[in-house]
Amino acid sequence: MNEEPIERVDITNAAIRDPKWWNPWVQVFYIDVPNLLAFDIFTRYRLRPFGFKKLDNKEIPYIGVYCYIRKSRIVDFFHCMVELRKLILMCGHGDYDEFCRDVIDEEKTGEIEVVPDD
């Protein structure tokens, strides 16, 4: 057999909330820029997330986004996050990886508070 080795890719700009086995959707959190570059990438992958909640701060060049993805499409979501990371780094945001690492750690520990849009 001629099997290709599995390529390991670290997803540093997204996190998944604990999925429930009975729910076909999973809540994800990812970090984007204010003009939402991920939306174009989602369209290319024919990925249709829903239930967006945006966390932003005018003093920070990034935003956090919560949304729901079908469990069956989570691999496509991860591919989108790899492309998003590359695109943001190419746009000159050299601190993106460090920022993501800090914010994802805060999100996992529950220190980020989501305030609904008014």
Is residue 53 situated within a structural domain?
A: yes
Is residue 69 situated within a structural domain?
A: yes
The model's pLDDT over 23-55, given as tens digits with 9 standing for 90+, comes to 899 999 999 999 999 999 999 999 999 999 999
Predicted local confidence at residue 3, as pLDDT: 72
Is residue 20 situated within a structural domain?
A: yes
Residue 118 pLDDT grade (very low, low, confident, very high; cuts 50, 70, 90): very low
CB atoms within 10 A of CB 49: 21
Is residue 78 situated within a structural domain?
A: yes
- Transcribe 38-58 into DSSP letters: HHHHHHHTT---EEEEEEE-T
Q: What is the mean pLDDT of the chain?
A: 87
Alpha helices, H only, 2-118: 38-44, 74-90, 96-109
- Segment (H or E) for 70: strand 63-70
Is residue 23 situated within a structural domain?
A: yes
Is residue 3 situated within a structural domain?
A: no
Which of 45, 31, 44, 24 has the alpha carbon at shortest distance from 85?
A: 31
Which of 5, 3, 13, 16 has the alpha carbon at shortest distance from 69?
A: 16
Predicted local confidence at residue 113, as pLDDT: 56
- CATH code of the domain covering residue 80: 3.30.70
What domain range is 72 assigned to?
14-109
pLDDT exceeds 50 at position 86: yes
Is residue 97 situated within a structural domain?
A: yes
User: For the residues 78-96, what does the mean pLDDT come to?
Assistant: 95
Choice between 6 and 53, residue whose per-residue pLDDT is larger: 53
Is residue 114 situated within a structural domain?
A: no
How many domains are there within the chain?
A: 1
* Of 12-21, 58-67, 84-93, minimum mean pLDDT range: 12-21
